[in-house]
Amino acid sequence: MSLYLSKGTIELQSAPSIKSFAAAVGKKEGEGPLKNSFDYIADDITLGGKSFEKSEGLLQQNALRLALKKGELSESDISFSFAGDLLNQCTGSSYGLREFSFPYIGIYGACSNMAETLALAALFIDNGIGTNAVAITSSHFCAAERQYRFPLNYGGVRTATSQWTVTGAGCAIVAAHDKPPYVKSLTFGSITDMGVKDANNMGAAMAGAAYETISAHLANTGQSIDSFDYIITGDLGEVGSKLLYDLFNRDNIPIKEKHKDCGTMIYDLNQQNVNSGGSGCGCSASVLCGYILQELAQGKMKNVLFTATGALLSPTMTHQGETIPCIAHAVQLTDN
Amino acid sequence: MEYLWAFVVGGLLCVVGQLLIDYTKLTTARILTLFAVLGVILGAVGVYTPLVELAGAGATVPLTGFGYLLAEGVKTAVAEQGLLGALTGGLTAASGGIAAVIIFALLAGVIFKPADRQ
Amino acid sequence: MQITNKEYGEIVKLRSPNTKVAVTCTKAFLFGGIICTIGEGFNNLYGFLGADTKTAGTLTAVTLIFIAALLTAFKLYHRMARHGGAGTLVPITGFANAVVSSGIEYKSEGYVMGIGSKMFLIAGPVLVYSVLTSVVYGIILRLTIY
């Protein structure tokens, strides 16, 4: 049974297990520092799909099939699936998963999707609703680029603060308490708008939301950062990470010592031409389901606060001159 | 000498564009539009003609040159046709380039696929 | 949070790296200069072949557009642009790149609603506002001079 602690924070008293997990990524991500952590690296960015939107769906399918296989599960064992991506109307998920017959719950939290889907899946399992719940999230560089920015062959200038959308998908299957990693507690964040308008500086826009959610989780669960091996944010990038330190410094919390960011972990920032780092739902999804969960399963990490951040903007709202509302959701993962 | 002027003037016009990119939050679409509009205005007030005489392609190849072309076209057409020339002159002068861009873009779209970026 | 959006905006400015202006401007100067010099070469070539100034200008524009279209289609233009910055954006070749890349990108949505309608996604405003300005100029010209 889940215990409601305080604003947004829930303790999962049964500590459900993440029974199986898998990450599928594109070529560029497969050449980065985490290349050995991923279960599948696509040589061809299209994955054989006729459009990049379809390619993203195929990437999700790959992650899902691998996670099912690793957990020795079949399609019929799945009680619920929670899925999300970056495309309009969540088509990466709905077209990717349309051939599967298990219940499908599409959600949208931009790049916070991995934490949001995982939190919901764990909540269902903790309360005995279903046996296996899938959390799956993806993004695709080419599909995101054409929706949010420019045609791929266009020579538009990328600014130093911009981030590179990860081509990747992560899938985690949550089941009743068994082997680690476990989902201990979670915090759903509130929408936070720091007044940032620049869609090419998403890390700066999202740092405030990450600060709010991490602070809330620590306060509501009565923990300090010392309890954790790492506090891992989704895709703040280099710029957003520095801003997160600034915000915590005001509270005299040296979070820098404990902090990692999926956006700066997945690429070699000096070599891979990604400016401030990686972004997109697939960034935190593939780093979580490829690297972090693996480390937890092997006991190399013991207590981690996974906080995926999302910029809830759209090109339409950006053109209307609006600021960027952001969100962060946190999931506390442990090995015991 | 004419090549040197073409190089210097063309280069400097691009530097202006680069400064706009680096110091303002203007998107590339806005900068291109600004250049073309500025070209029409500079052509209209007569500043751009001497620059074209000096630098040739250095002044006509940047997008300000596209605006200048429209302004020149309008000037000629208004002299010949009166008020109607205000409507016909600009696009008539630029028609070759615009039609070329449309046809090449269509052909490229038919033949090629979008590329992944590394 | 104990921080106003205005205060936060100040920190964001502090933490956001600026582009190295000396480098980007030098590159823009070189790329832009070279493209224009090539244009001047074509101008002279067409003039040598007997075209008058106006025709040579149009032929040069069409030639540069064609070259830019090829470079775009063969995935080379955006790689050049990564270094060239405004040097590859501001010349007519940058305009061609904007139109041709949109043509290629939106092929998946078909010939009418894809390529046909989205070709001028980036470059459309260039045409709209330069034509507007030229028409206003024509009207002023008609009212004041003739």
DSSP code string of A103-152: -EEE---GGGHHHHHHHHHHHHHHTT--S-EEEEEEE-HHHHHHHHS--T
Residue B118 belongs to some domain of the structure:
no
Mean pLDDT on B28-49: 95
Nearest Cβ partner of A153 from C16, C19, C101?
Answer: C101
Q: What is the mean pLDDT of chain C?
A: 94
CA A64 – CA A97 distance, rounded (Å): 9
Predicted pLDDT at A305: 98
Instruction: Indicate if the pLDDT at residue A267 is higher than 80.
Output: yes
Instruction: Indicate if the pLDDT at residue A281 is higher than 80.
Output: yes
Predicted pLDDT at A170: 98
Residue B91 belongs to some domain of the structure:
yes
Smallest CA–CA distance, residue B75 to chain C, in Å, is 7
Predicted pLDDT at B117: 64
Query: Pick from A288, A311, A285, A329: which is nearest to A59 by CA?
Result: A285
Instruction: Indicate if the pLDDT at residue A216 is higher than 70.
Output: yes
Instruction: Indicate if the pLDDT at residue C146 is higher than 90.
Output: no
Domains identified in chain B, total number: 1
Indicate the burial class of A226 (C-beta count within 10 angstroms; 0-12, 13-18, 19 or more). Answer: exposed
How confident is the model over A295-318, as pLDDT tens digits? 999 999 999 999 999 999 999 999
Instruction: Indicate if the pLDDT at residue A277 is higher than 90.
Output: yes
Query: Pick from A192, A196, A308: which is nearest to A260 by CA?
Result: A308
What CATH number does the domain located at A2-175 have? Answer: 3.40.47.40
* Chain C, window 89-118: residues with a beta carbon less than 8 angstroms from a chain A beta carbon: 89, 94, 97-98, 100-102, 104-106, 108
Instruction: Indicate if the pLDDT at residue A58 is higher than 80.
Output: yes
In chain A, CATH 3.40.47.40 covers 2-175, 182-334
State the residue range of the domain holding B20: 2-111
Q: Mutating which of B3, B16, B18 best tests the C interface, going by the most C Cβ atoms within 10 A?
A: B18
In percent, the amount of chain A with pLDDT more than 70 equals 100
Instruction: Indicate if the pLDDT at residue B118 is higher than 70.
Output: no
- Judged by average pLDDT, the poorest of A208-217, B109-118, C19-28 is B109-118
Cβ contacts of residue C58 below 8 Å, gap of 6+?
B96, B97
How confident is the model over C85-102, as pLDDT tens digits? 999 999 999 999 999 999
User: What does chain B look like in DSSP terms, one character per residue?
Assistant: -HHHHHHHHHHHHHHHHHHHHHHS---HHHHHHHHHHHHHHHHHTTSHHHHHHHHTHHHHSBHHHHHHHHHHHHHHHHHHHTTHHHHHHHHHHHHHHHHHHHHHHHHHHHH--PPP--
CA C84 – CA C102 distance, rounded (Å): 20
- Which H or E element spans position A248? helix A237-249
CA A97 – CA A93 distance, rounded (Å): 6
CA A157 – CA A82 distance, rounded (Å): 36
Residue B117 belongs to some domain of the structure:
no
What residues pair up with A105 in beta bridges, in sequence order?
A: A82
* Contact: C138, B77; criterion CB under 8 Å: yes
CA C129 – CA B36 distance, rounded (Å): 8
Residue B27 belongs to some domain of the structure:
yes
Mean pLDDT on B58-74: 97
Residue B64 binned pLDDT confidence (cut-offs 50, 70, 90): very high
Q: What is the mean pLDDT of chain A?
A: 96
Residue B106 belongs to some domain of the structure:
yes
Instruction: Indicate if the pLDDT at residue C111 is higher than 90.
Output: yes
Query: Pick from B50, B103, B69, B92: which is nearest to C57 by CA?
Result: B69
Residue B100 belongs to some domain of the structure:
yes
- Count CA within 13 A, CB hemisphere, residue B89: 32
What CATH number does the domain located at A182-334 have? Answer: 3.40.47.40
Residue B67 belongs to some domain of the structure:
yes
CA B31 – CA B18 distance, rounded (Å): 9
Tokens 């025709």 locate to C55
Predicted pLDDT at B116: 67
CA B59 – CA B10 distance, rounded (Å): 6
In this prediction the pTM is 0.94
Predicted pLDDT at B27: 86
Residue B116 belongs to some domain of the structure:
no
Smallest CA–CA distance, residue C1 to chain B, in Å, is 27
How confident is the model over A129-144, as pLDDT tens digits? 999 999 999 999 999 9
Q: What is the mean pLDDT of chain B?
A: 94
- Which H or E element spans position A3? strand A2-6
> Higher model confidence: residue A146 or residue A214?
A214
Residue A155 binned pLDDT confidence (cut-offs 50, 70, 90): confident
Predicted pLDDT at A26: 96
Instruction: Indicate if the pLDDT at residue C18 is higher than 90.
Output: no
Among chain C residues, CA nearest to A237: C16
Smallest CA–CA distance, residue B83 to chain A, in Å, is 36
